[in-house]
Amino acid sequence: MACNEKNPSCAATGRTAVLLLAFALVPAVFTAWLHPKRPTWSWTRPTVTELALADAERLTPPVIWLDARPDEEYAAQHVPGALSLNEDRWDELLPKFMAVWQPGTRVVVYCNSQRCDASRAVAVRLRHEYQIGNVFVLQGGWSAWLEEHKP
């Protein structure tokens, strides 16, 4: 399989590979252009404001708490009153959130801990795709909340 002049099939494999790489570009361009769920592009990562738990709990109502963790974790336990909104079932869960959200409502999104990214992703989508302001990410997430509200 060594790629040298004694092995013309190797060069042919390389040429075909380049063709395959180029071929995949065509539908990708159409996806970028036409797909209803195409990603939004920007040079830098969109920022979201993080709030410490104490500050989040002091927000002026109305406040909606959003649980961005997977379904089974939300089902097991969540911040009292929190709604579930994760990217796995975004289309099903979003209407439930939209039904209670009103302009001026503050939204606090959390996931498991400081090491998870789901809350940030949900907050960014709400802010940039749905133009919802006052969306915050809870620092330390669910574990910070648990720590503070230990029985």
Partner 1 sequence: MNWLTRILRLLAGGVFLVAGVLKVLDPAHFAAAIDHFRLLPYFAVAPLALYLPWLEIVCGLAVFAGAARRSALVLLFAMTVVFIAAIASAWMRGLDIRCGCFGAASTAPLTYDLVFDVVLGGVLFWLLLVEGRPGSSRKV
78 is an interface residue for partner 1 by CB under 8 A? no
DSSP string computed for 75-91:
HH--STTPEE--STTHH
For partner 1, the binding residue among 54, 77, 90, 149 (CB under 8 A) is: 90
- Residue closer to partner 1 (CB basis): 11 or 52: 11
Residue/partner pairs of 7-11 with CB below 8 Å, 24 or more apart: none
Question: How far is residue 141's CA from residue 68's CA, in Å, rounded to a whole number?
Answer: 10
Q: Which of residues 35-54 bind partner 1 (CB under 8 A)?
A: 35, 37-45
**Shortest distance (Å) from residue 62 CB to partner 1:** 27
CA-to-CA distance for 96 and 149, rounded, in angstroms? 26
Out of 57, 106, 112, 139, name the contact with partner 1 by CB under 8 A. 112
Residue 2 or 103 having the CB closest to partner 1: 2
Nearer to partner 1, 20 or 99 (CB): 20
Edge to edge, the sheet with strand 83-84 lists 49-51, 135-138, 106-110, 63-67, 83-84
DSSP 49: E
Interface with partner 1 by CB under 8 A: which residues?
A: 1, 9, 12-14, 16-17, 19-21, 23-25, 27-28, 31-32, 35, 37-45, 70, 87-90, 111-113, 115-118, 121, 125, 129
